[in-house]
Amino acid sequence: MAHDHPEHHHDNELDPMAARVRALETILTEKGLVDPKAIDAIVDTYETKVGPRNGARVVAKAWSDPEFSGWLQRDATEAISSLGYTGRQGEHMQAVFNTSDTHNLVVCTLCSCYPWSVLGLPPVWYKAPPYRSRAVIDPRGVLAEFDLVLPETTKIRVWDSTAELRYLVVPLRPAGTEGFSEEQLAELVTRDSMIGTGLALTPEAA
């Protein structure tokens, strides 16, 4: 039966998940534990305000400003919060810098811990079992799935995130970007390059 009867348009239906969420929201609101307006504000923040552009600004600044880069290396939590990006779970941040011989890759094997304040919410693959289970045991194979093939001599370091410690990869600055402003540089920094499943774009590719 593929068609609804036109004269019997259906009533509202709530799927079981939506009904459970409403039930929880009702209970938690009655108990004064959540405020529906605060819920809306949180959704809005994560849907529209927080995203990988924040991280891209951090990386672009690190590329342009050696002093900031040093700070980011020593105390990423403080350096990042100086740009106005602070985590709300009290988590610490660590910046891991790619070099000509080491590539960094971030995963959360436990669940899906991710540096929300600088990257927004994680992409689907980051939360999915194939990535979470394979990144540690076969990082090179995982990177190949992203069409990222590194020289055999490049060492790959895998960082497993936790609730308390989240990682931001600082990719290598692409060649041919001398004299670029921070804004121009930020355009080259992709989300994947800050997780380690990609590289920063070259000016030609951007």
Partner 1 sequence: MSLRDLITHSKGLPSQGGSPAFVEPWQAEAFAMVVALHDRGLFTWDEWAHALSAELKRPGALEDASDYYHCWLEALETLVVTKNVAARSEVEALAASWQRAAHATPHGEPIRLENDPDRS
Candidates 72, 107, 113, 189: give the one binding partner 1 (CB under 8 A): 113
- Rounded-to-integer distance, Cα 206 and Cα 200, Å: 9
Chain positions 39 to 78 lying near partner 1, rule: CB under 8 A, are 39-40, 42-43, 46-47, 51-53
Task: State yes or no: residue 127 binds partner 1 (CB under 8 A).
Answer: yes
Task: State yes or no: residue 4 binds partner 1 (CB under 8 A).
Answer: no
Closer CB to partner 1, 73 or 109, in the complex: 109
Closer CB to partner 1, 53 or 157, in the complex: 53
Decide: 96 and 169 in contact? Cβ < 8 Å: yes
Contacting range for partner 1; rule: CB under 8 A; set: 76-84, 96-104, 109-117, 172-180: 109-117
- Rounded-to-integer distance, Cα 127 and Cα 111, Å: 7
Q: Tokens representing 88?
A: 């709300």
Q: Is 111 part of the annotated catalytic residue set?
A: yes
Q: Tell me phi and psi for residue 2, to 5 degrees.
A: -100, -15
Task: State yes or no: residue 137 binds partner 1 (CB under 8 A).
Answer: no
Active-site residue, from 113, 117, 161, 193: 113
Candidates 112, 154, 182, 201: give the one binding partner 1 (CB under 8 A): 112
Q: How many residues contact partner 1, by CB under 8 A?
A: 62
Task: State yes or no: residue 140 binds partner 1 (CB under 8 A).
Answer: no
Report whether 161 belongs to an annotated binding site.
no
Length of the chain: 206
Give the residue ranges of the annotated binding site: 108, 111-113
- Enumerate binding residues for partner 1 (CB under 8 A): 9-28, 31, 33-35, 38-40, 42-43, 46-47, 51-53, 88-91, 110-113, 119-121, 123-125, 127-131, 134, 142, 145-146, 162-164, 190-191
Catalytic residues: 108, 111-113
Give the residue ranges of the annotated binding site for Fe(3+): 108, 111-113
